[in-house]
Structure 1
Amino acid sequence: MAKDKFPVTPAIRMLKQHQVEFTGHLYPYEEKGGTAVSSQELGVDEHAVIKTLVMEDDGRQPLIVLMHGDRQVSTKELARLIGCKSVSPCTPQVADKHSGYQVGGTSPFGTRKAMPVYLEQTIAALPRIYINGGKRGFLVGIDPQEVIRLLQPTLVKVAI
């Protein structure tokens, strides 16, 4: 991996600091294209492209949910699992403030604010995932076990 080829984001700094092996993948970012566009650009299954979603509970406490690109989060089930009344997505401005990243380029690594992380349990069984590297149009290919090692997420079953 050439040092000057990929953006150096807080996420990349964290991965390097923890000696995580990863591959960087730049692609032309498309506004509101989501994982359908990134998976097509990278030539990988959308199920292996992982969304980093910044949400908040009914007490307005932020949290991160990592979900397959081709699935949605059952916020009702997530709220039940974590013991609160409701969970909802943050507005882009609030998500940016909590994560330190711009929506569309949010990485779960190196966030501005420490937040609990919830990982859809079926992600852990994949051989390799593609997750945002901290900039729009930039994903990193990584072993999901490394994500678990670094972020120590709570595994949940909330995909719909």
Structure 2
Amino acid sequence: MAKTTPATLALSKAGVGFELHPYDYDPDAPRVGLQAAEALGIAPEQVFKSLMVLVDDKPACVVLPSDCEVSMKKLAACLGGKSAQMMKPADAERLTGYKVGGVSPFGQRKAVPTVIDETAQLFDTILINGGQRGLLLGLSPDGARLAANATWSDITA
């Protein structure tokens, strides 16, 4: 497993400290974020998943706890749109440069609006995908917000 990804490079460039948390990725897991939390022995609400969505047909990234579902209505409203839907996996991979299961909000090929669920602020450290399957990054919520140029919002269903 590579220790350097576009995500780790972006964090380093932004001056945001992080720790690597590799784990055994299970491609057959029904919910990758929950599988990662279990593999690392970390509470699922502290492990954040990154999803690529379309808000009024414009791409965006949403980061939320692995044990939660995104409220498309809240997300659309947060980004000033009328509707939101999940992006097709092939489109997400093409846009971000990452494989689904390894999408990170950091270092994507094209910068898109990013929203992090406000519950991230409850923790000193959160874990977010590091840009490849089987690699999470531990960092401060404020560091994540800064590096992703993200906004906080209540986006869970």
- TM-score normalised over the length of structure 2: 0.93
Alpha-carbon distance in structure 2 between the residues aligned to 1:85 and 1:19: 35
Q: Deviation per CA, 1:15-66: give whole Å up to 9, x if none.
A: 12223221101111111521111011111000000011100112x2100001
Separation of aligned partners in 2, 1:91 and 1:54: 8
- For the pair shown, the structure with the greater C-alpha radius of gyration is 1
Contact kept in structure 1, 2:55 and 2:79, CA below 8 Å: no
Post-superposition offset of 1:151: 2.0
| Structure 1 runs not aligned, ≥5 long | none
Aligned-CA RMSD value = 1.4
Partner of 1:54: 52
Could you tell me the percent identity over the aligned residues? 34
In 1, distance between residues paired with 2:59 and 2:67? 23
Instruction: State the partner residue of 1:29.
Output: 25
Q: 2: CA distance between counterparts of 1:145 and 1:38?
A: 22
Choose which of 116, 139, 143 in structure 2 pairs with 1:142: 139
Aligned length: 155
Q: Is the 8 A contact 2:127 2:138 kept in 1?
A: yes
The match for 1:96 is 93
Unaligned runs of 5+ in 2: none
Encode CA deviations 1:44-100: one digit per residue, 9 max, x unaligned: 000000011100112x21000010111110101222332322100101000011111
Supply the distance in 2 between the matched residues of 1:32 and 1:79 (Cα, whole angstroms). 30
Does the alignment pair 1:133 with 2:130?
yes
Q: Tell me the CA shift for residue 126 of structure 1.
A: 1.3
Normalised by the size of structure 1, how large is the TM-score?
0.91
Q: Distance in 2 between matches of 1:41 and 1:16?
A: 26
Question: Which range moved further: 72-81 or 47-56?
Answer: 72-81
